[in-house]
Structure 1
Amino acid sequence: MPPNEYDATIQRVQTEHRLNLANFWDIKTRSKVLEIGCGQGDTTAVLAHLVGAEGFVHGIDIASPNYGSPVTLGESIQFLQNSSLGNRIQIDFETNILSPDINFPKDSFDFIVLSHCSWYFKSPEELFEILKKIKDFGKTLCFAEWDTRITTNEQLPHFLSVLIQAQYECFKENSFSNIRTLFTPIDIQTIAKSAGWNILTENTIDSSQLQDGKWEIEQTLLDYEKELLVVDNLPAKFKALFQSQIYLLEAAINRNEIKSMSTYAFAAK
């Protein structure tokens, strides 16, 4: 992956987390993997490493390759494809998995991976339709998302930041935000089962070392006033509630060290 110009350890920590997820999912060599919501390729790189030279990873993301900062998704993936792993990776940006044009023969893939991408989906209905559509594409569904069941005070600021963002997203018609729908583990389990998946194994994986919690908090405090101005139909009482939650977030930051939430992961058939 491209080195981070601010902190060389960031990518190492991010990649180690993806390795923990992939090891839990038991990604095997020579496997064919479909990755939905591949983003800048953090998980893609790990999957490509684990499947080996005889394996293949097909990544799909609805975003434009110009999305992202300071490195765009396209720049990051190009860096990855120019590496020794590049010949076992295909990435399709600006591709909606729900498009009628996107289809694969039954059991084309050994694994279908959705890693830290479900909160980008616009609604529970969209997640359901995706999980239902891909049911025939592959044998095993590998899923990971932040676990909202916080267990320490240090995780509270991360949780508050995503909760604030998720609430004002409810009033938006269109969005390009990081968090568009907040799913709890129970939400995810219910939707996956409704879509026909049988969860075989699940786990809560420590991800407190990840930098994402701090990033989400910084983004929330930087953007919340601007975000509230974008929403025309927001009741005054809701705006007051958001301001109260901002005060709670600021107080939580001052009282506690910041740690990212854990990650909820499962494998399903």
Structure 2
Amino acid sequence: MTNPLNYIVGCMAASELNYETQKIQTEHRLKLARFWGIEDGNNILEIGCGQGDTTAVLAYLVGENGFVHGVDIASPDYGAPLTLGESIDYLKSSSLSSRIQVDFERDILSDDVAFNEHTFDAVILSHSSWYLNNAHELEKILQKLKKWGKKLCFAEWDTRVTTAEQLPHFLAVLIQAQYECFQSETSSNVRTLFTPMDLKEIATKAGWNITHEKSIYSPMLQDGEWEIHQTLSEYHDKLINSNEMPSRLSTLIQSQIKLLEDAINKNNVRPMAAYTFTAE
């Protein structure tokens, strides 16, 4: 029998650039999808599908009788070293193709995006909420999804760090979230930082009842290192170009950069865990 992890990774474009990296990313998303209880035959809507890391896993698990409809506000030209479009095109050329539809440049809050009531067995947001502009936007999305989906499946980084090794990842995203408040246009991965407590509150306000929640730790994920590199490489330009930022906040961020650099020197880097829940 084919190993599910190896099968899914083989369907993804990034596996040709770095197979082991993609394998680690896919294994994490398999953990999430199994916690969510994704089953054969499920019809799924995924918001913020990006390069298809979670999409591929969902498509595998729903089987030939299921379907995954991905929606992302980004352009297919967004992303590097592979664009979103290149990644999804590769996935669509795989054996999972018939189970997947992805629509780019679609704002889920737009009036022209609509589905019948309870069309989907599950609606998914997986590591995509920090791309949003604010809590109100997330609440509006979750309210709209309540009409279309029977179950909400959600995952985002768990900011409740439990080890010194996770501290650099947390500091990196915290710094990004602060200077992104003063950016009018951005392509950052972290635009609004939601804690697990924020997410539960927003989901409840949107009408969802959380049924199960868990913190899932995948220590080999590379995301902590990626975010640290992103922060250290861009923070100087971000501060210079943030004309409306108070000088005291700029000074505070530079102090946090020093803490980040010190934490890297003293500890190995490990990612934060992922906070995930299901709701009905």
Q: TM-score, normalised by structure 2?
A: 0.94
Corresponding residue for 1:145?
Answer: 156
1:239 lines up with 2:246 in the alignment? no
Structure-2 residue corresponding to 1:205: 216
- In structure 2, give the amino acid aligned to 1:263: A
Give runs of aligned pairs for residues 6-85 of structure 1, distance below 5 A. Answer: 7-85=18-96
Name structure 1 gaps, 5 residues minimum. none
Unaligned runs of 5+ in 2: 1-11
Q: Does 1:192 align with 2:200?
A: no
Matches within 5 A, 1:81-96: 81-96=92-107
Residue 228 of structure 1 deviates from its aligned partner by 1.3
Q: 2:146: which partner in 1? A: 135
RMSD: 0.9
In structure 1, distance between residues paired with 2:41 and 2:16: 34
Distance 1:57 1:46 in 2: 10
Instruction: Provide the residue aligned with 2:186 in structure 1.
Output: 175
Count residues in correspondence: 269
The ranges of structure 1 where at least 4 consecutive aligned residues each deviate by more than 4 angstroms after the TM superposition are: none
Task: Tell me the secondary structure at the aligned position of residue 86 of structure 2.
Answer: helix
What are the residue-to-residue correspondences of 1:221-232 with 2, within 5 Å?
A: 221-232=232-243
Distance in 2 (alpha carbons) for counterparts of 1:6 and 1:140 = 35
Partners of 1:134 and 1:225 lie apart in 2 by 38
Q: Distance in 2 between matches of 1:20 and 1:191?
A: 24
Distance 1:30 1:8 in 2: 29
Instruction: Name the CA shift for 1:249/1:143 in 2 (closer, same or farther; >3 Å).
Output: same
Shifted more, 203-212 versus 113-122: the winner is 203-212
Cα distance per residue 1:95-150 (max 9 Å; x no partner)? 00000100100000000000000000000000000001110101000000000000
8 Å CA contact 2:15, 2:23 repeated in 1: no
Q: Deviations over 1:22-61 (max 9, x none)?
A: 0000001001000000000000000000000110000000
